[in-house]
């Protein structure tokens, strides 16, 4: 902008001199030339600004650490969700990492979602970096498959804040019947997992976050013995009370864990489906795996929805701050 002001001042000075010199036409030509230069500079500046703005609007993948591992992935698109940057892929065997199965993956490249129709063929690099995974360098061959068009892991709306929770009944890690009604009078944090989930930034991340929240709650007198946690399995056929108890023991860090604060639950297929649908979570089975999105919810002491998190971006500190706002 300073450059433009200087050029403008030069033009004004030349206009003032037009009446004093004997060759005004020469000055007029100079003025037109300078105007043309300013116009070109302005267009270049605007074009550069547009490019910078467009680049800033694109979702950027994280920078991988030196210890990150990479694997080549090939498969068929089942569903995609640009809003959450998730694409579910029925992939071939990932050599050295995973058998052939259908799984959701994080894909940050916004431009590719217009090509990710159900049935499209995709090749990409799977990056595994500690507790994060994502795809990079995608190559898509657009093929339509109407049999996959109805499948989506993130299509359902979550309940609004203030919505009352139905009195769902489930079975906990001890084989005892539990209901949502029994949690009334204290905040409840709910999430969905299944014990065989292979991706570190899905179910394992939810359980690690819950474990950290549990540790922080025990250190805080205002929260201790007041906040409850509940992990619900989406795989009732495999995740029996015994399996859930073993799984929970690992995250609680004890051979003789106390499940008073954090329970793990399953139930019949219909019971799990009803709870998941209430929270807007759609899922389905593919061989031995469960294809699902993520939902974590804070329920207030009156048994009403306080907040629902759709993905895995939330942190334990963020949830603890939200819990601090819930009236005990």
- How much is the average pLDDT of 176-187? 95
What SS3 state is found at 118?
coil
Q: What is the pLDDT of residue 143?
A: 66
Indicate the fold that domain 69-148 takes in CATH: OB fold (Dihydrolipoamide Acetyltransferase, E2P) (2.40.50)
Q: Which helix (H) or strand (E) holds 169?
A: strand 169-172
* Six token digits for residue 268: 């019949």
Q: What is the pLDDT of residue 33?
A: 52
pLDDT of 29 over the 80 cut: no
**pLDDT (tens digit, 9 = 90+) per residue, 273-327?**
999 999 999 888 887 788 888 999 999 999 999 999 988 889 999 999 999 888 6
Indicate the fold that domain 169-325 takes in CATH: Glutaredoxin (3.40.30)
Q: What is the pLDDT of residue 9?
A: 55
DSSP code for 98: B
* Six token digits for residue 8: 């403008």
Q: What is the pLDDT of residue 220?
A: 86
CA dist 134 and 92 (Å) reads: 17
169-325: same fold as 69-148?
no
* DSSP output for 231-269: EEES-TTT--HHHHHHHHHHHHT-SS--TTSEEEEE--H
pLDDT of 2 over the 50 cut: no
Spell out the domain ranges in the chain: 2-57, 69-148, 169-325
Contact 187, 321 (CB under 8 A): no
pLDDT of 8 over the 70 cut: no
**pLDDT (tens digit, 9 = 90+) per residue, 119-129?**
899 999 999 99
DSSP code for 326: S
Q: What is the pLDDT of residue 253?
A: 87
Contact 225, 157 (CB under 8 A): no
- How much is the average pLDDT of 104-128? 91
Confidence of residue 20 (pLDDT cuts 50, 70, 90): very low
């Amino acid at each position: 902008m300073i450059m433009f002001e200087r050029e403008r001042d030069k033009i004004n000075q030349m206009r003032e001199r037009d009446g004093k010199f004997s060759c005004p036409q020469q000055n007029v030509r100079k003025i037109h030339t300078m105007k043309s230069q300013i116009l070109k500079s302005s267009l270049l500046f605007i074009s550069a600004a547009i490019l910078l703005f467009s680049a800033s609007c694109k979702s950027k993948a994280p920078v991988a650490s030196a210890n990150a591992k990479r694997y080549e992935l090939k498969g068929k698109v089942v569903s995609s969700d640009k809003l959450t940057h998730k694409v579910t892929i029925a992939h071939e065997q990932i050599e050295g990492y995973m058998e052939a199965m259908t799984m959701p993956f994080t894909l940050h490249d916004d431009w590719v979602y217009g090509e990710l129709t159900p049935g499209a063929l995709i090749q990409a690099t799977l990056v595994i970096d500690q507790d994060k995974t994502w795809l990079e360098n995608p190559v898509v061959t657009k093929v339509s498959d109407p049999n996959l068009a109805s499948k989506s892991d993130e299509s359902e709306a979550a309940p609004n804040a203030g919505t009352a929770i139905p009195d769902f009944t489930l079975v906990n890690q001890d084989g005892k019947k539990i209901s949502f009604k029994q949690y009334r009078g204290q905040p409840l944090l709910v999430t969905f997992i299944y014990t065989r989930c292979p991706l570190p930034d899905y179910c394992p991340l939810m359980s690690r976050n819950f474990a950290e929240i549990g540790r922080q709650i025990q250190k805080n007198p205002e929260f201790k013995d007041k906040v409850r946690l509940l992990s619900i399995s989406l795989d009732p056929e495999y995740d029996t009370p015994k399996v859930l108890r073993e799984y929970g023991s690992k995250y609680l860090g004890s051979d003789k864990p106390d499940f008073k604060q954090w329970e793990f639950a399953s139930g019949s297929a219909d019971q799990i489906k009803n709870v998941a649908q209430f929270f807007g979570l759609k899922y389905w089975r593919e061989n031995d795996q469960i294809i699902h999105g993520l939902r974590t919810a804070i329920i207030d002491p009156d048994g009403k929805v306080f907040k629902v998190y759709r993905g895995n971006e939330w942190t334990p500190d963020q949830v603890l701050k939200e819990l601090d706002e819930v009236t005990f």
